[in-house]
Structure 1
Amino acid sequence: MPQSLDKFDLQLLEQVQQNCRQTAEVLSEHLGLSPAAVQKRLKRLRDTGVIEAEIALVNPGTIGRNMTIIVEVAMERENSGVLDSFKRRMRAEPLVQQCYYTTGESDFMLVLVVQDLEEYQRFTQDNFFGSPEVSKFKTTIVMDRVKVGLAVSLHR
């Protein structure tokens, strides 16, 4: 069941999704609440798991990671042991930015950010060709990062 959020919570979430470094004073001006009320709401949203994490979004090109690759992965067989093992490996893999267990033709969708095709080739050797669990995979290379983010729409 979704958490009960009022209009101030939603406005606060909208603000911190755009910039989580805003001070309680700045946020209070946007919301029309006191800084103490904003801090209390933020603490509750963090403690209850509504706000999972506050992170820095790094431009991958500025650190030499110029390729984003989307990979569809089909498993050889679907049982909990195989799926759990693959999920663990992907969580531990630094090149995997996002991993989704999906329905449809593929069992997983991965988003990777790599330096070049050589790095991606090493990743495929280690994680796909070297794994009896993986039946096949399909690679799509991103041409342009049109929109990148993890903001959740708060409009109902």
Structure 2
Amino acid sequence: MKLDRFDRQLLNLVQEDAGQTAERLAEQVALSPSAIQRRLRKLREHGVIQRDAAVLDPRQVGKPTFFIVALQVERERPELLAQLRKWLAAQAQVQQVFYVTGEADFVLVVTAPDTENYDALMLRMIADNLNIKRFTTHVALSLVKRGLTIPVALDEND
């Protein structure tokens, strides 16, 4: 899908607050509310907008602990990597998974109510995925910034 300047403006705005009405968005983008709705529908249909989500304040929902995990696999055979990816994607506690270069093969962002729950998840991961060589864990002491916003240049050449 070819994105124009209006689409790019909308993408930046809805990433900051997807709950804005078409009328509110129209105040910020030089389009009518109906044109805004059509464009957002088209962006969703083409998979540019994959989903809308609410960002919660962790302190108000039980203060979960965040864990950053560097994961190494024994062998990088495609079928074994596919199995691990599928397993990780199915775990609600695993918020993000990155396949990376360097010493680790994957970097994960995991949330759990406490270290006992995290440990249970990791034990299941090792039991279900025999190709895991090792993992190291960093416990987040505080949350400085959290988000999924991707800055979208208003001009495709930027």
Shorter-chain TM-score category?
A: over 0.9
> Pairwise mapping of residues 19-34 of structure 1 onto structure 2 (< 5 A)?
19-34=17-32
Q: Number of paired residues?
A: 154
Structure 1: any 5+ residue segments left out of the alignment? none
Sort the Cα spacing of 1:21 and 1:130 in 2 relative to 1 into closer, same or farther, 3 A: closer
Match of 2:2 in 1: 4
What is the CA RMSD across the aligned residues, in angstroms?
1.4
Match of 2:76 in 1: 78
CA shift, 1:99, in A, is 1.0
Q: 1:84-120: CA deviations, max 9, x gaps?
A: 1111110111110111111211111110011111111
CA shift, 1:131, in A, is 3.7
| Contact 2:84-2:129 at 8 Å conserved across structures | no
CA shift, 1:41, in A, is 0.9
- Whole-Å Cα distance in 2 between the matches of residues 90 and 21 of structure 1? 29
Bigger relative contact order, structure 1 or 2 (CA pairs below 8 A, ≥6 apart):
2
Match of 2:58 among 39, 57, 60: 60
- Whole-Å Cα distance in 2 between the matches of residues 107 and 34 of structure 1? 47
Match of 2:13 in 1: 15
- Whole-Å Cα distance in 2 between the matches of residues 28 and 41 of structure 1? 12
| Contact 1:60-1:113 at 8 Å conserved across structures | no
Match of 1:46 in 2: 44
SS of equivalent residue, structure 2 residue 151: coil
SS of equivalent residue, structure 2 residue 70: strand
Q: What amino acid is aligned across from residue 121 of structure 1 in structure 2?
A: D
Report % sequence identity.
Answer: 37
Greater mean deviation of Cα atoms: 138-147 or 57-66: 57-66
